[in-house]
Structure 1
């Protein structure tokens, strides 16, 4: 099979995963389903654990963060743990707790902005809704289920240029006033169902076996119904919502599925990265540390294992935009389809250092993949990732990498059609890397 065919096959699965994962709950659930199909056993945090070398496991928290673990046959203290980290959340519009609005005869939803969303591209899109609903069942127990309206049920129309002549020159967007989406036209006679009632009806349609007494609460996001696609005259580009960072989640999952079980391997996909990671299931929370504590209860052993371990934080990088190349350092402009990017920042916004970067470059060479480097302009602020947070919370050597991307945090982002499979080849090599991660040449 040629490299191009391998990339095409890889993208087929990636596109399907992106389409099926409109929220972090769906993204983590789809990862869990694929891991279970591949023989990974589910762990419940409330149960007692008895982990066995040679076995494979996964555990979920909040329904939106997941850890997959291959317990290697080689001793942990000798080989360490090969870790990959990503995040399941993306900037979006989230429905407020009491969202029902009627203005000028139009039924709308109150929304708030989650994360650093690029708002302008949300206008004039065919939007649907999905997320998690908590309800009381017929026996009085509180349960949760995922819901996805799937069809376009909302839109945020733009204001016509005739009514805003400066829109193409200077315009700010007020999310409170201008982002509530339209649902339908109120006819003035029929009382509109409350949003919770709509959720109940959709739940019962999607899950007819459920007995729902009352919807108690929800976490619902809006999303673009346009499916992900390969575009461009030669299919050079991958266009989709939530590339940041479901692309890395999928690449990490595919890589750990190929781990042969000789070395201990781990994938963590955290929620809430886009809003600072400070939650029970975020990278700033205790989820990964508590997992490692249960795998290795002995403190001295755990510290020795971490000294031999490495975390690769995989989160998309900024590709140099041909229309805005002046926004990049002139020597560090990653190009699409030229390989994954090592992200560097002197102020530790990224966790990369020369030793962790050297290891990644060595693994890339072994996999036959070129790599690039990103450094922000010295006069511009730099974003961050779960990399520095995980390094600080767990004490594991870390570096930050990602595929180059345009329109990051837009409702539809753009990546190269070959970069995801190239990152997969490196992470696959990482899970099979034969040398001790604590020994530097």
Structure 2
């Protein structure tokens, strides 16, 4: 891997994350890229006829996407090389009755989505993005994505003069302490409504769309600071939403470059950060329903699944030099030392010795170093879509990820080499001629 190719990959990753402040925007960006690359969009309301050699994608809820290359090899014998990630990240979501007037300021009522590291949301230049549903001029409901892009809000910290214990013992109340400030309040409170704000943004982004009434919205705040390559030697990528848009981009690049010999699938689902239990989450039926439509015969489909494998890609914890004691001393991944195989005896990760061994072989073939992560035995670890997909679909699964610092912060940190390395391994995986789920010698 040349430094130029790695730099080009990272620039594409940075551009993708910057264009994807919400799962809706991330899915839209992936769909556009797939369409430009020759993939045909499928509608779930249509009858499908998928042909060998075809390249397809389907979107659900505007926030989850499946891309599929139909290989020439028979599905029941060759199986599918699957790669999974998730589109959502912890954030502050706007409540339905959003406007709050307090002490002469307009503020937003927000709700914490997922396991956000709340302290990192203070003193940031915040903007607002997401999906708005409205009554159109034809008296029917329509939805559009909006993104204010400009910094329009901030959650200021309380000055240390008013809380002398702040550096030793400051807790954060999610109901009262993280309300963003938008602007000074007018003397007449009816001068500003949140619906009017959304209406103005819709008209600015979609001047030809006629909006009669704002009906509802799914909006979240995000840090406007752009992703960047940082460090004295430019060895790190700093950005919001590295968990897990980085893995989405890795899978996207890999499947776009896949050949038509073997069948390959990328699934990027929403709601992983809150358990994946939704129609468009990994715990829902989205992947299983796609496979049913792909191969309706149950016997053939079970044979296909037996020959298939899923790589679940989600960021891993790099060993933090300031908190090395929080890691198992023998399993502390280092940034820029290669992708990480994630292992847990209690199935918080779905890795088995066989799926791990295959990944190590792929890394060797791609000339990529590989690391392992196991959490401290006296600490619980997080989980991924891996165990969920394995249980829901019945496919052999591996959990991997890129080592990362400050996971669930508004500004996470990863190495400049690792995402590209993982992508090279994913390409090797998609090109593998032997069915990835077949292991000899049992």
Structure 1 length normalisation: TM-score?
Answer: 0.99
After TM superposition, the structure 1 = structure 2 runs for residues 202-213 of structure 1, keeping only pairs within 5 Å, are 202-213=201-212
CA distance in structure 2 between the partners assigned to 1:66 and 1:438 by the alignment: 23
Which residue is 1:386 aligned to? 385
Which residue is 1:34 aligned to? 33
Which residue is 2:69 aligned to? 70
CA distance in structure 1 between the partners assigned to 2:266 and 2:40 by the alignment: 14
- The CA RMSD measured in Å over matched residues stands at 0.8
Which residue is 1:11 aligned to? 10
CA distance in structure 2 between the partners assigned to 1:118 and 1:190 by the alignment: 33
Which residue is 1:47 aligned to? 46
Large movers: runs of 4+ above 6 Å: none
Question: Residue 4 of structure 2 aligns to a residue in which SS?
Answer: helix
Question: Residue 301 of structure 2 aligns to a residue in which SS?
Answer: helix
CA distance in structure 2 between the partners assigned to 1:345 and 1:376 by the alignment: 8
Question: Residue 120 of structure 2 aligns to a residue in which SS?
Answer: helix
After TM superposition, the structure 1 = structure 2 runs for residues 62-141 of structure 1, keeping only pairs within 5 Å, are 62-141=61-140
Question: Residue 178 of structure 1 aligns to a residue in which SS?
Answer: coil
Which residue is 2:430 aligned to? 431
CA distance in structure 1 between the partners assigned to 2:205 and 2:353 by the alignment: 51
Question: Residue 176 of structure 2 aligns to a residue in which SS?
Answer: helix
Which residue is 1:251 aligned to? 250
Cα deviation, residue 439, structure 1:
3.0
Q: Deviations over 1:372-397 (max 9, x none)?
A: 00000000011000000000000000
Q: Does 1:309 align with 2:308?
A: yes
CA distance in structure 1 between the partners assigned to 2:438 and 2:88 by the alignment: 35
Q: Deviations over 1:222-273 (max 9, x none)?
A: 0000000000011100000000000000000000000011000000000000
Question: Residue 190 of structure 2 aligns to a residue in which SS?
Answer: coil
Cα deviation, residue 20, structure 1:
0.2
CA distance in structure 1 between the partners assigned to 2:437 and 2:291 by the alignment: 18
Q: How many residues align?
A: 440
Cα deviation, residue 321, structure 1:
0.3
Q: Deviations over 1:278-305 (max 9, x none)?
A: 0000000000000000000000000000
Cα deviation, residue 438, structure 1:
3.2
CA contact (8 A) 2:396 2:437 kept: no
CA contact (8 A) 2:306 2:438 kept: no
CA distance in structure 2 between the partners assigned to 1:311 and 1:88 by the alignment: 17
CA contact (8 A) 2:22 2:220 kept: yes
Q: Does 1:395 align with 2:394?
A: yes
Cα deviation, residue 3, structure 1:
2.0
CA distance in structure 2 between the partners assigned to 1:189 and 1:140 by the alignment: 31
- Bigger shift: residues 4-13 or 215-224: 4-13
After TM superposition, the structure 1 = structure 2 runs for residues 257-272 of structure 1, keeping only pairs within 5 Å, are 257-272=256-271
- Bigger shift: residues 49-58 or 182-191: 182-191
Which residue is 2:183 aligned to? 184
Q: Deviations over 1:17-56 (max 9, x none)?
A: 0000000000000000000000000000000101111000
Q: Deviations over 1:343-370 (max 9, x none)?
A: 0000000000100000111111110101
Which residue is 2:350 aligned to? 351
Cα deviation, residue 435, structure 1:
1.8
Which residue is 1:58 aligned to? 57
- Bigger shift: residues 425-434 or 191-200: 191-200
CA distance in structure 2 between the partners assigned to 1:321 and 1:438 by the alignment: 35
Cα deviation, residue 196, structure 1:
1.2
Question: Residue 147 of structure 1 aligns to a residue in which SS?
Answer: strand
Which residue is 2:321 aligned to? 322
CA distance in structure 1 between the partners assigned to 2:402 and 2:228 by the alignment: 17
After TM superposition, the structure 1 = structure 2 runs for residues 144-159 of structure 1, keeping only pairs within 5 Å, are 144-159=143-158
CA contact (8 A) 2:64 2:269 kept: yes
CA distance in structure 2 between the partners assigned to 1:20 and 1:56 by the alignment: 24
Cα deviation, residue 189, structure 1:
4.4
Cα deviation, residue 211, structure 1:
0.8
CA distance in structure 2 between the partners assigned to 1:436 and 1:38 by the alignment: 25
CA distance in structure 1 between the partners assigned to 2:219 and 2:115 by the alignment: 18
Q: Does 1:23 align with 2:22?
A: yes
Cα deviation, residue 315, structure 1:
0.2
CA distance in structure 1 between the partners assigned to 2:437 and 2:99 by the alignment: 56
Which residue is 2:414 aligned to? 415
Question: Residue 83 of structure 1 aligns to a residue in which SS?
Answer: strand
Q: Deviations over 1:121-155 (max 9, x none)?
A: 10000000000000010010101000000000000
What are structure 1's unaligned runs of at least 5 residues?
A: none
CA contact (8 A) 2:153 2:180 kept: yes
CA distance in structure 2 between the partners assigned to 1:99 and 1:368 by the alignment: 51
